[in-house]
Every structure is written in C-alpha cells, then in structure tokens.
Amino acid sequence: MWDWPAHRIHRALAAGEVSAVEVATAVLDRCDAAEGLIGAYVHRRERAEVLADAAAVDEALRRREPLQPLGGVPVAIKDNLSTTGMPTTCGSRILAGYVPPYDAAVVERLVGQGAVALGKTNMDEFAMGSSTEHSATGPTRNPWDLERVPGGSSGGSAAAVAAGTATLALGSDTGGSIRQPAAFCGVVGLKPTYGRVSRYGLVAYASSLDQVGPLCRDVRDAALVLGAIAGGDRRDATAHPGALPDYESALRPDCRGLRLGVPREFLAEGVAPEVRAAVAAAVDLLGELGAEVEECSLPTVSYALDAYYVIAPAEASSNLARYDGVRYGLRAGGGGDYAGVFARTRGEGFGPEVRRRIMLGTYALSAGYYDQYYGKAQRARTLLCREFDAALARYDALVTPTTPTPAFGLREKTADPLQMYMSDVCTVPVNLVGLPALSLPCGFVSGLPVGLQLIGRAFDEETVLRIGYAYEQAADLGRRRPPVAAMGAGA
C-alpha cells in the first residue's frame, strides 16, 4: 500500500477493502526501512500521532460519513509551510526549533479533508537551491541513485514520494522548486498559476514568484490535490477568489483538438542530447494522441535566467530582513548593541547560499544600481510575459524539457553556483510570467528519470493536466520504480 497513489487509496477505503490505519502503517513501515538512506524528512511525527489521525478517518467511515477525496491519505509537508505542532525551520539554523502558532492555508485544507500528515520534508535553506544540499540538516539523496541529488528546493518532498515514504507531498516553486525535483525523482509535480493557491503560511522567499503545489505519483493525484488546496483566501490578497473547476473531470486519454507549441529556445545548447531525444519522442506521442504540434520561438527566454537571479534575490533580501534575532528563531550570544546582535545572528544563522543571495539582492536594489539591474530585470520580465501571452494565444500549451540534464551528482555543483543556477534554465521563465506548469516523467537516461514540462495559460490547469494525463496513460512509464534493493527495503 505504500506504493499506491491517493486515488487508489480512496477507492480501497470507500469500498472497505482496507482501513486508513492499515494504509498509514504501511507507509510508516516504509519510512522506517528507507528514510535512513534517503533523508527526505527533517521532522517525523510520532507513530502514535499519525495512527490516531488515521483511526479518526476510520471512525468517521464507521459512522457512514462521506469520505473526502484525500481522506486517510498519508502526506508530507515541505518545511517552509507553517504547521502547528511541528517545527517549521526552512532548512535553516536561524529557525531551529521554531513551531508556528498557525497552519498554512494549504495545510488547513488538506488536514480538513482528512489527509494524514507524516512530517516535514527537507529543503534547500529558505528554498534557495536546486539540489537540497543547502540545508542545515544535511542533504537528501535521490532514490534512483543515492549518490545523486533529488533536485531542489523541494527535494525532500519529491524523494519521499518517489521512495514511497509518502503518498503525496506539498512543495513550493519559486523558480522550479517543484518541477525540477519532480523531474529528477521521476514523479509528477505541478506549479499552479500564481494566485491559484493561497500563500498564507508559506515562508516567503520571493513573494511575486512563490507558489505552492503538489508532488504526486501520477497526474490524477495532482488534479485531486489541486482541487483540495486551490481557491481564494481572505488572508492572501493574491489568491484568486473565482470558482474552481473539477480538475479530475478534465482528465481524458487523448489530445484531440489541442494545438501545442515547442519553443526552440528550450532545446538549445546546454540541453543534453539524451534529454532532447526523450522530449522529441514525447512530442511525437502527443501528436499520435491527436494534438497538432509545431515548433515556435520565444526569443526573450534567453534573458529569463538573468532576470530571475536579479528579481528573486532582491525580493529575498527584503523578505529575510525579518530574521533579526529579536522576535523568534536564533539569537546570537555575545551581548552588545542591536546592530551587533543582528549581524552576528544572521552571520551564524544563514548558510552561504542564503547569504550570497541576500547580498546579490541588496546590491541590485541599492542606490545607483536599482535602474541598472532591478529595473532592467523587470522590463525583461514584462517582455517575457508578452511573448508567452502571444504564444499561448496561438497554442493551448507549450511543451519543453523540465531540466537540461538528469539528476547530477552530490557535491558536483556546490562549488560553482552558476552551474547550479543553470539547472533551472527551463523552469524559471514560468515563474516570471506566473503561468501553470506540470512536470511528469517522459523517459530514462542511464537509469535516471527525464522530465517533460507542459506550460499552460493562466488559470488553465485543466488543459495541462489533461495533456499530462493523456501522455502518462499512453507512455505507461508509471510502473517503473527506484531500485528497491538500493534503499534496503523490500517490496
């Protein structure tokens, strides 16, 4: 049962074939067997607490109460989403031991549906990274190869789903932090439209880019989770208050009547030939499923990574100013005036990648450099939005690789930040323009998963989910799992 997707768990519970306690026990046993090698979690709830929540679902079923779509489903939560009763540390020493007084909106909604929380997953510190190596608690390993990274910053969530130590997980995506780990770990990851899901309770990295979304076994699960967590929220002015569609009903086994564009800039130099071949094969299959596919161009995409690494650090330098050693979290010792405590706290509490991005952002916003860097980056962002709008007026969705390569090795890129940043080259444009995008497996290179990215129109998650579902059913890659023997756990 640890390998079942959420929709299968729902059917089995509704039919009385299994109990929620049996499902939770299977996943907890899987965690005990595999977690020591993978390191997906930074905090696991006590077994008794998890089983008590599962027992409450079983008791509700005995009272003949209706079973919610995610009732009894074991879920993992990224460590930058606020949770009462569990620490929220964002993978940082500066928030060690911090337990929020409230739950994030997405956590409220999942728990309100009867989902069973397992714990908090590892991440790059404050979501700043592409490998889950920039964490105060140490790295997470990729279940497909324990000497490779799971991607980042939601690497713990992706690895947990891939390894079966969670049925599904929540992540956040600022420049690809859901989709890139999904590609590296061979699972499905959805970044919704900016504003589709409330950011209340998400610890901010870059507020105009951040979005919460699911990492799942398959596309149907992604549709179920989006239906549970999406919608307006009076506590988040950016959350869209409109009516929600039934995402699961949008899933169909074909792409008839759809026009798909393949931007050539996403397949340029730097994308591994094997990744290009896997994406080309996926595009051919989408054509066989009835889609009309043609090549297109988005010239401004070549400036997206540069613009992102000005805008995101600039917003981070502002958002992270609140960690001052006074109100919560780490407070450096040594006494002295406020400025001294402030400087020592941040120097001791933040890791090198976070300090690097704060300095980049502060510099870009400083007097004399604002127009030269931040202003130009925002103008490039505007041009990029116009190009995507024009392309998506012609096409129903765009098809690209999720990442230029499969998962790279542990410590391979930590000494070269620019090489690390390049792993997000296919994902950051989507955050800059605020559109929805889905990553799902489209093949394997030397035993490692390759991700296919589908980019849709604003608030049109139904179409990307429909395309992803049709491809997933036809390609039939979902049966392949990470090497169980390498994780020391039996099937």
Catalytic sites, residue numbers: 78, 153, 177
Tell how strand 41-44 and strand 188-191 pair up: unpaired
Tell me the C-alpha distance between 401 and 424, whole Å: 11
Strands of the 188-191 sheet, one edge to the other: 41-44, 116-121, 74-78, 168-172, 212-216, 188-191, 437-445, 448-456, 397-401, 259-263, 292-296
Per the CB < 8 A criterion, the answer to whether 344 and 331 are in contact is: no
Q: From the CB of residue 306, how many other CB atoms can be counted at a distance below 10 Å?
A: 15
Tell me if residue 74 falls in helix, strand or coil. Answer: strand
Closest listed residue to residue 329, CA positions, set 315, 346, 311: 346
Beta strands per DSSP E along 407-461:
437-445, 448-456
Between 273-288 and 461-475, two packed helices, what is the crossing angle to 10 degrees? 100
From residue 163, alpha-carbon distances to 136, 401, 409, 442 in Å are 22, 23, 18, 18
Per the CB < 8 A criterion, the answer to whether 383 and 300 are in contact is: yes
